[in-house]
Structure formats: structure tokens, C-alpha cells
Amino acid sequence: MNPTERQLADMVAAYRQVRRPPKHLRLQVARNVSRAQHQVVRRWLAGMGVGAAAAAAAIFVVHLVAVQSLSSRRDPAASPNEAVYEHRESDGDSSTVTPSRAPAADPAVPPPPAAETTAAPSSPTPARSPSSTTQNRSRPPSPASTTTAPNTREIRLLREAEVALARDPAAAQALLTTHRKEFPATILSQEREALEILADCAVSPNAEARRRRDAFGQRHPGSAYAARVRAACR
């Protein structure tokens, strides 16, 4: 190793020791990934059919369990020495590497250039501005942060209530009552309320149901459920 190579190695080692992510970031990213997944469930539950909602919820549960887990514990390998632990071991034996595929086209990820001479890829608009992380960091805690993240049972209850709505609205009401008791503070409260109104209107479209319907429309005019709720009790 010549002096330049040694100096580079020393600088790389220093870099890997001192360049570490902020402590808060891991949890913040885990939460934001969870919330993004939650938006997917909201869209599916609200706008798509029951079967699609069930599929989305199932996908969500798989991811959610993972994100909750990763936000609550750290891998022993991710210790302060992780950088050294990882270094030079990741791809040391290139002979065993099988061809991998770069991520396919993505709203947030342009395809890599096909060759050295290829022009820089186009810049599609990211699905979400990366700057939001910084914005979140500087923002005071939102009301949503005081609620609990949904878990598997919570999702299942809502999914079953959604399914029951079409054939047995009273059963849907019972499921939603259970949900309300077990998960009084949840980020899925809007979904629950919408389903409750739909169930109430299906069972007994009385003045109270219409009052809740109208109140929901005023509180959540932009909700993905707004159209369905508005059409209820008619």
C-alpha cells in the first residue's frame, strides 16, 4: 500500500467512524414509512372494493409489523462499530454474486443510465418531496403523534367491518364498537367513523345518523370517504 492509498484508507476509516445518522432519524423514518403505508390502506379501504381493501390490509399488516418492530429495537450489528463491521465484507467475493437488477422505473427513482455516454436521466417529480423530513423535524408534534399506530387486530377489525357492511350492517356496527373500545385513540379513527356512519345509515337511517353524516362531511371535506358518507342515509 503506497502512502496515498494508506492516507485514503485512513480517511475512509475516519469518515465511517464520525459520519453516523442522527439518533432521532431511525425512528422518524420508520414512522414516516409506516404513515405512508397507512395512506395506502386508507385509499384502498375508502375507494376500492372490499376484496382490494382486504388485500391492501393484508399487505399493510405485513409491512406494519416490520416497521413497528424496527422502530422499537435496534439490530445488535448496528452498534457504534457497525461501520467497521460492515466495511469490505459486503461484496468481497464477487464470484458468488449473481446478476442483480437495478430498481425499475419509479416516480422517485429514475432508471440508471444504460451506458457511460447516456445522458442524465429525466427527473420525474418525486411522489413526495424529500424535504418533508426536514420539515417534520422542525415542526411541533402533530395531534396524530398522540395516537397509537395501528396493529394487526385493528386492521383486521376494520377490514371485517368493511366486508360486513354489504351483507350484515349490524355485524359491522358490532365490530366497529369493538374497535372503538379497544382502540380509542388511533390514526385510523377517520376510517372507523366513516364506516360507523355507513353502518348506522344502513341499519337505521335516522336523524342521528344523518347528523353524524353531515358532521363528518364538515370535519373531513377532503376525506377519501367523503363521497360515500355523503351518499349515505339518502
Partner 1 sequence: MAGDGRTTNLGFEEVFRRHFDYVWRVAHAVAGPGAADDVTQEAFLVVRRRLDEFDGGSLRAWLFTVVRNVARNYLRSQRRREARLRAVPEPAPARDPDDEVALRQAADLLDQFMDSLPARQREAFVAVELEGLTARAVAEALGVPTRTVYSRVRTAREAFARFTADQRAMEAAS
Residues 1-20 that bind partner 1 (CB under 8 A): 4, 7-8, 10-12, 14-20
Strand partners, 148: 186
Please state the closest distance from residue 107 (CB atom) to partner 1, in A.
9
Which among 106, 134, 135, 138 is positioned nearest to 122, based on CA atoms?
106
Q: Please report whether residue 147 would count as binding partner 1 according to CB under 8 A.
A: no
Q: Please report whether residue 146 would count as binding partner 1 according to CB under 8 A.
A: no
In 72-107, which positions are buried (b, 16+ CB within 10 angstroms) versus exposed (e)? eeeeeeeeeeebeeeeeeeeeeeeeeeeeeeeeeee
Please state the closest distance from residue 77 (CB atom) to partner 1, in A.
6
C-beta separation of 59 from 48 below 8 A? no
**Which listed residue (1, 51, 119, 120) binds partner 1 by CB under 8 A?**
120
Q: Please report whether residue 52 would count as binding partner 1 according to CB under 8 A.
A: no
Please state the closest distance from residue 10 (CB atom) to partner 1, in A.
7
Please state the closest distance from residue 78 (CB atom) to partner 1, in A.
6
Residue 103 or 184 having the CB closest to partner 1: 103
Q: Between residue 97 and residue 116, which ones bind partner 1 under the rule CB under 8 A?
A: 97-104, 106, 108-116
Residues 186, 66: Cα–Cα separation, whole Å: 19
Task: Mark the segment that binds partner 1 (CB under 8 A) among 21-29, 163-171, 185-193, 200-208.
Answer: 21-29
**Which listed residue (47, 54, 55, 88) binds partner 1 by CB under 8 A?**
88
Residue 93 or 143 having the CB closest to partner 1: 93
Please state the closest distance from residue 7 (CB atom) to partner 1, in A.
6
* C-alpha neighbours within 13 Å on the C-beta side of residue 82: 11
What is the grid cell recorded at 209? 345518523
Residues 191, 107: Cα–Cα separation, whole Å: 27
What is the grid cell recorded at 61? 399488516
DSSP 8-state symbol, 130: T
Q: Please report whether residue 39 would count as binding partner 1 according to CB under 8 A.
A: no
| Residue recorded with cell 391492501 | 56
Task: Mark the segment that binds partner 1 (CB under 8 A) among 30-38, 41-49, 146-154, 225-233.
Answer: 30-38
Q: Please report whether residue 208 would count as binding partner 1 according to CB under 8 A.
A: no
Residue 57 or 157 having the CB closest to partner 1: 57
Task: Mark the segment that binds partner 1 (CB under 8 A) among 84-92, 147-155, 168-176, 220-228.
Answer: 84-92
- Tell me if residue 119 falls in helix, strand or coil: coil
